[in-house]
Chain A
Amino acid sequence: GENVEQHPSTLSVQEGDSAVIKCTYSDSASNYFPWYKQELGKRPQLIIDIRSNVGEKKDQRIAVTLNKTAKHFSLHITETQPEDSAVYFCAAKGSNYQLIWGAGTKLIIKP
């Protein structure tokens, strides 16, 4: 079946440094790639998404890049802050419109 692999499972970075989380997907017909952030004890919330007709999208300190040929997409967070600490999920929506989720990355920002 379709799947999305997400790496790393845990990422620890110094405050102020950049963080990169990577995902690969198997369904070449996937055309929508959202990223969700889940703070401890809270609900997942959409932070950024990208469609397959775009290679990169930025929103202040966060950006997502998409490489359709290689079937991978990445989340980039620059100038990390303590409030960026959370679990981040990538997902891909394929030809059957089902959202396939990655396993999540726990991002730890060290002061």
Chain B
Amino acid sequence: DTAVSQTPKYLVTQMGNDKSIKCEQNLGHDTMYWYKQDSKKFLKIMFSYNNKELIINETVPNRFSPKSPDKAHLNLHINSLELGDSAVYFCASSQATGAGGELFFGEGSRLTVL
């Protein structure tokens, strides 16, 4: 069973389009995250949700909107895609927001904006 699954795995689209990436975890974790990994491999936190509530919202354009319908799902919607949005987006979950708390990552969604 896949612990953290995200779809689609690959996404190729034109500038200006709107796209969504879905994420689901079956680990019973309370906290979910979206990370962006660019071509230089930097892992940058974008959003964090705890029990469906937003707790971290780093400086990302408001074209990016996360949605958490329940604590097992955290989707990412991106409006008006730009070339610089091309990256691998990782969803992750963890049991605890306090000290400790292993992050379990999804396989990643590679977004290419043409």
Contacts and interface: CB of A to CB of B under 8 A. Distances in A.
A43 B108 contact: yes
25 contacts: A31-B99, A32-B100, A32-B101, A34-B102, A36-B103, A43-B90, A43-B105, A44-B43, A44-B90, A44-B103, A45-B105, A46-B102, A46-B103, A51-B99, A51-B100, A89-B43, A97-B97, A97-B99, A98-B45, A98-B56, A99-B45, A99-B103, A101-B44, A101-B45, A104-B43
A77 to B, nearest CB: 19
Interface size class of B (residues with CB under 8 A): 10 to 19
A103 interface: yes
A94 B45 CA distance: 15
Interface string A66-104: 000000000000000000000101000100011101011
A43 B99 contact: no
Interface residues of A, number: 22
Interface of A: 31-32, 34, 36, 38, 42-46, 49, 51, 87, 89, 93, 97-99, 101, 103-104, 106
**Main SS of the interface on chain B?**
loop
B105 A44 contact: yes
Nearest to A34: B102
Contacts of A32: 99-101
Interface in B35-68: 40-45, 56
B32 to A, nearest CB: 14
Given A93-B100, A93-B101, 16 more contacts: A32-B99, A32-B101, A34-B102, A34-B103, A42-B107, A43-B90, A43-B105, A43-B106, A44-B103, A44-B105, A49-B100, A51-B99, A93-B99, A97-B99, A99-B45, A104-B43
Contacts of A31: 99
B98 interface: yes
Contacts of A45: 105
Contacts of A97: 97-99
